[in-house]
Structure 1
Amino acid sequence: MTPDVFSPVSLGPVRLRNRTVKAATFEGRTPQGQVTDELIAYHVAPAAGGVGITTVAYLAVAPEGRTHKDVIVVGDDTLPGLARLADAVHQEGAAIAGQVGHAGPVANGRSNGVHGIAASRMPSPLSMQMVRAATEQDLTRVTKAYVDAARTLVRAGFDVLELHMAHSYLISSFLAPGLNRRRDRWGGPLERRARLGRQVARAVREEVGDACAVTAKVSVSDGFKGGVTTETGLEFAQLLEADGHLDALQLSGGSSLMNPMYLFRGGAPVKEFAAAMPAIVRWGMRTPVGKGFMKSYPFEEAYFREKALRFREGLSVPLMLLGGVNTVATMQQAMAEGFDFVVMGRALLREPDLLLRMQTGEVTSGICIHCNRCMPTIYSGTSCPEWEPERVIPVPAVTAT
């Protein structure tokens, strides 16, 4: 029997009110890397609007693992704010997930004040610096940092930990043969390239046990030559499933480093994105290489569906379908095809109360036009340029405690 997308469901040890997930999209509301009232209000809105899980983006496990200097590094100094955020979301009846990751080569070393690390040495188009190859000591330290971050987030009351293994972040950079040229035990055949991701998943699960759910974001295709292909992504997912440390996999795609628009689809806001970047990056985006960075892909509903179906056929672990989910019909189709959750990003940014209105039958689709002009706003406070305040539910005032 096909489940109703709005029916309760269990994700590992966590009981959820429905099968919808707000995707991790950087909020731009963490100056100095701290939780703010604005960040809390940002997540309270979709929580009050009916989502099952809202996901806090870019929770870095180490300083060099931030995408830039204002990203939260999970630790004792950020624990009180994270706990306050979790409490506010819980008060609205939703669960809260933390996207736990190390940006690897996607980190802006110039902003962070420390060079990034990756599977292999490479130039960074973000900082115009060289990213160094991670050492054995680095990988031991980073694995421990994932464990420490997981422990802190459990203390803060987070229900789900989403381990970031896609988009050319550190773990993903090891998976992509074009980014991993190593000849040691971390490079070569997929089984060795997958070692870091499997090691992190095991270490985190051993730390948290059943205190929370643990998932991973994996790629159905990176969208660039030398990246993770659908075949490689599925094989990696099968290794993770066989290890048995994860409660679900979230299926994504694209590369924040090499091909970000493969993930977003729709309009490519090149001018707006360049205007929001530092001068050195704006210059780089005017070069032939930079111009090719923001490719244009036409939007279509559930654009990762065909690739995701190959994962569904080859796996038994619960799967979360992401990418262009905007209508009740798409959600129902996903349930009928065996997906366990649907993940929404831009649609909920445009209309945080969309799911409540879908449940009541007021609407059957969102109104996001997929212009992607929200993308450059991550540096000033992620928002929708097409925002219609009168359509948004009131958000309770959030004050410091």
Structure 2
Amino acid sequence: MTIAGLPTDTVSVTPDPFAPATLGPVRLRNRIIKAATSEGRSPEGLVTDDLIDFHLGFVRGGVGMTTVAYCCVAPEGASAPGQILMSRKALPGLRRLTDAVHDAGGAIAAQLGHAGVVASKKITGVTAMSPSRVINPSSLEYCREITASEIRRVIDQFGEAAEIAVEAGFDAVELHFGHLYLPSSFLSPLLNRRKDEYGGTIDNRSRLVREIAQRVREVVGDRIAVTAKISMDDGIRGSIWLSESLRTVQLLDQDRNLDAIELTQGSSFFKQMYLFRGDVPVDEFAAVMKEPFKTGVRLFGKRALGTYPYEDLYMLESARQFVPVVANTQLILLGGINNYDHIATGMREGFGFVAMGRALLREPDLMNRIKADHSVSGRCNHNNKCMYTVYGRTHCVLDPDSTHSAAGSAASTSFTADRSKELPITPA
């Protein structure tokens, strides 16, 4: 058995989560990572001062590394309007962002993704791609089967995006292999019914994520860290579950192309609340929708999104199954982490890092406060109304400064309207 990629006989104490830690070639000031969460602060697909300030809040608030959410590797890989495309055009703004974070003493990662089946033709202008032909139940749009040559192109696009990340000064890239975006959809027997070398057994269905990780590692070498976000299960019957995701992680670990794997759950394809847990903000989603989606969400939103009670550390039971599987790769614990005891539990269980989303969205300075006083708990009450704010500037609705600030005024209101017209329910 191993702990965070090290033999158990070499580990004598539980790591201090607030002490410096190594992630591949990168030294982080602590083991706390701000998880990628939709931002809505790049309406033209380019870095803005608002986006920089957003991430500086988490870095000044005490995290070791913040993650820029969903940087597209290709225009057709966008899952929402206004997402950053990893391109030469975006490079100057990305450099401003990484410089600002480094000046504040933190590290920064870029999440690289291709939406695949989660994309919408209303956004990208082209029919979405999937391992096999399928209808997206959220957008009700047809997704065509990706060709073999297009698969090779997607692998190249991840490599090209990773090179942009290096040039922009990022400390790490996170490969989005979760939530039934394109790479993740290949892992799902429900969506992947291919008869070629990318379909069939889980070893075959894991081929694409392994080839993407290999290409990215070839491109970046040891200049930056390479991590991946992978769904342990997605809450959809007949799709991804532990028995097969364990094998995918084992194969990736054996390949030694990743420095860490962040374990997640759920999808942006269907039953989205399986990722978030807690209250289901149906009325709030309906309020920003155009007809006929407004009525559809009111009538069927709870059934489509799913209803799952919130529990602290709600991903731990599944995530701990992966600890004995890895020998070369650190693991990152996500889900329901809200105080020092939760973080310490992750360290004791063998995780190298923890990642936090909603708790930090509510209180960007939470880590500084917890470090100073281990009895502090986050104020996030899991109302999940932040989910519908992805149609504008993602924020905690209980933070009046985020809701009513000048940066969130007229321009943001217009952006919200545009996004809600085009995007049904894709909160993750």
Name which of structure 1's ranges 196-205 and 186-195 shifts more when overlaid on structure 2: 186-195
Alignment correspondent of 1:263: 275
Question: Following the alignment from structure 2 to structure 1, what is the Cα–Cα distance between the partners of residues 108 and 166?
Answer: 11
Question: Following the alignment from structure 1 to structure 2, what is the Cα–Cα distance between the partners of residues 156 and 281?
Answer: 39
Determine if contact 1:100/1:163 at 8 Å carries over to the other structure.
Answer: yes
Question: Following the alignment from structure 1 to structure 2, what is the Cα–Cα distance between the partners of residues 282 and 144?
Answer: 39
Question: Following the alignment from structure 1 to structure 2, what is the Cα–Cα distance between the partners of residues 362 and 321?
Answer: 19
- Map residues 296-307 of structure 1 onto 2, 5 A cutoff: 296-307=307-318
1:92 aligns with 2:77: no
Q: TM-score, normalised by structure 2?
A: 0.88
- Map residues 308-347 of structure 1 onto 2, 5 A cutoff: 308-316=319-327, 317-347=329-359
1:191 aligns with 2:203: yes
- Map residues 47-58 of structure 1 onto 2, 5 A cutoff: 47-58=59-70
Alignment correspondent of 2:158: 146
Cα distance per residue 1:44-70 (max 9 Å; x no partner): 100111100100001010111000231
Over the residues paired in the alignment, what is the CA RMSD in angstroms?
A: 1.5
Determine if contact 2:174/2:226 at 8 Å carries over to the other structure.
Answer: yes
Cα distance per residue 1:59-117 (max 9 Å; x no partner): 01011100023111110011111111111111111100111010111112212212211
CA shift, 1:278, in A, is: 4.2
CA shift, 1:333, in A, is: 1.1
Cα distance per residue 1:329-381 (max 9 Å; x no partner): 01111111111101100000000000011111175210100000000001110
Question: Following the alignment from structure 2 to structure 1, what is the Cα–Cα distance between the partners of residues 88 and 369?
Answer: 39
2:306 to 273, 295, 300: 295
Question: Following the alignment from structure 2 to structure 1, what is the Cα–Cα distance between the partners of residues 271 and 39?
Answer: 21
For 2:51, the aligned partner's letter is: L
2:170 to 145, 158, 166: 158
1:33 to 31, 37, 45: 45
SS of the aligned residue for 2:333 comes to strand
Name which of structure 1's ranges 200-209 and 316-325 shifts more when overlaid on structure 2: 316-325
Determine if contact 2:280/2:302 at 8 Å carries over to the other structure.
Answer: no
Determine if contact 2:358/2:380 at 8 Å carries over to the other structure.
Answer: yes
Unmatched segments (≥5 aa) in structure 1: 391-401
1:211 to 210, 217, 223: 223
SS of the aligned residue for 1:220 comes to strand
Determine if contact 1:109/1:116 at 8 Å carries over to the other structure.
Answer: yes
CA shift, 1:313, in A, is: 2.3
Identity of aligned residues (%): 49
1:168 aligns with 2:154: no
SS of the aligned residue for 2:215 comes to helix
Name which of structure 1's ranges 313-322 and 341-350 shifts more when overlaid on structure 2: 313-322
Structure 2 CA distance for partners of 1:198 and 1:362, relative to 1, 3 Å = closer
CA shift, 1:245, in A, is: 0.3
SS of the aligned residue for 2:235 comes to coil
2:125 to 90, 105, 113: 113
Question: Following the alignment from structure 1 to structure 2, what is the Cα–Cα distance between the partners of residues 72 and 277?
Answer: 23
SS of the aligned residue for 1:90 comes to helix
- Number of aligned residue pairs: 389
1:76 aligns with 2:88: yes
Alignment correspondent of 1:61: 73
For 2:258, the aligned partner's letter is: L
Determine if contact 2:25/2:223 at 8 Å carries over to the other structure.
Answer: yes
SS of the aligned residue for 1:39 comes to helix
Cα distance per residue 1:236-276 (max 9 Å; x no partner): 00000011100000010001101211110111101112323
SS of the aligned residue for 1:32 comes to coil
Alignment correspondent of 1:399: none
Determine if contact 1:268/1:371 at 8 Å carries over to the other structure.
Answer: yes
Alignment correspondent of 2:389: 377
CA shift, 1:195, in A, is: 0.8
Cα distance per residue 1:292-334 (max 9 Å; x no partner): 2121211111101011110112223210000010010011111
CA shift, 1:286, in A, is: 4.7
Determine if contact 1:45/1:352 at 8 Å carries over to the other structure.
Answer: yes
Question: Following the alignment from structure 2 to structure 1, what is the Cα–Cα distance between the partners of residues 319 and 80?
Answer: 31
Structure 2 CA distance for partners of 1:169 and 1:231, relative to 1, 3 Å = same
Alignment correspondent of 1:350: 362
Alignment correspondent of 2:116: 104
Alignment correspondent of 1:6: 18
Determine if contact 1:125/1:281 at 8 Å carries over to the other structure.
Answer: no
Determine if contact 2:42/2:82 at 8 Å carries over to the other structure.
Answer: yes
1:285 to 259, 283, 297: 297
Determine if contact 1:110/1:127 at 8 Å carries over to the other structure.
Answer: no
Structure 2 CA distance for partners of 1:44 and 1:174, relative to 1, 3 Å = same
1:366 aligns with 2:398: no
SS of the aligned residue for 1:174 comes to helix
Q: TM-score, normalised by structure 1?
A: 0.94
1:225 aligns with 2:228: no
CA shift, 1:174, in A, is: 0.5
SS of the aligned residue for 2:347 comes to helix
Structure 2 CA distance for partners of 1:247 and 1:362, relative to 1, 3 Å = closer
CA shift, 1:282, in A, is: 3.0
Alignment correspondent of 1:394: none
